[in-house]
Amino acid sequence: MTPEIHDPTSETEAPPTGALSRLAADPVSRKRFLTMAGGGGAAAFLAACGSGGSSSTTSTTATMPASAANDVSQFGKGDVGIVNYALTLEYLETAFYQDVVNSGLFKGSSLATIKQFGEEEAEHVQALTAAVKKLGGTPAPQPKAKFPLKDANSVLKLAATVENLGAAAYLGQAGAIQSPEILASALAIHTVEGRHAAALNTLLGESPTPDGAFAKPAEAATVLKAVKPFIVG
């Protein structure tokens, strides 16, 4: 990922719009956000997204720029659309893990880990549903889903793909989120998605950090295309 160089002597920039930009420009708001989102992990997230504060001369841009490919307005306007987009992905992840549990392909500690991941995805669904309602929106409907569950190894590969994709999807929308509270929630979920992905990658003998030091975001169009085969009807 190519670092973006910030020149403090440049002309006055346009007023910040998204929550990340506003947090970068306002140390007081940034401090409140870091407290709300859990400190160190949140600071690393802000740094990765290019919001390290005015004292920094370099930053790494990880969030996606506004584009048609990253548009989630089909799920609602503004933060409602972003949360409903995330909610749709969490519906699919929850359904996937429930199907894996019911498949009988895993036993013992492996099954226990899969159950734990599924329960955490279900908690994400509850949290995002509540967030949409708090924003005054209507939660996205739960899609019907079907997943190929042929054997344990292919299921683990699919699980890793789903979790890596989920983490990238949250990162892809971070720069467009307006509410610091929603951004903090997205960060909290993104972190867990990344941990799930790292655990599954390691189990498969792959790198726990496939993107290196900085995670790569994914545009909504890429994410939705990837999950489309699992949606029935």
Q: How confident is the model at residue 33, as a pLDDT?
A: 43
Q: How confident is the model at residue 79, as a pLDDT?
A: 96
Q: How confident is the model at residue 1, as a pLDDT?
A: 44
Please list the ranges in the chain whose pLDDT falls under 70: 1-66
Quick count: other Cβ atoms within 10 Å of Cβ 211?
15
Q: How confident is the model at residue 53, as a pLDDT?
A: 42
CA distance 125 to 140: 11
Boundaries of every domain in the chain? 4-59, 68-230
- For 98, counting Cβ atoms within 10 Å of its Cβ (0-12 exposed, 13-18 middle, 19+ buried), the class is middle
Nearest-10 Cα torsion for 154, 103, 124, 230: 60
User: Is the domain covering 68-230 a CATH 3.30.470.10 domain?
Assistant: no
Q: How confident is the model at residue 19, as a pLDDT?
A: 54
Q: How confident is the model at residue 159, as a pLDDT?
A: 97
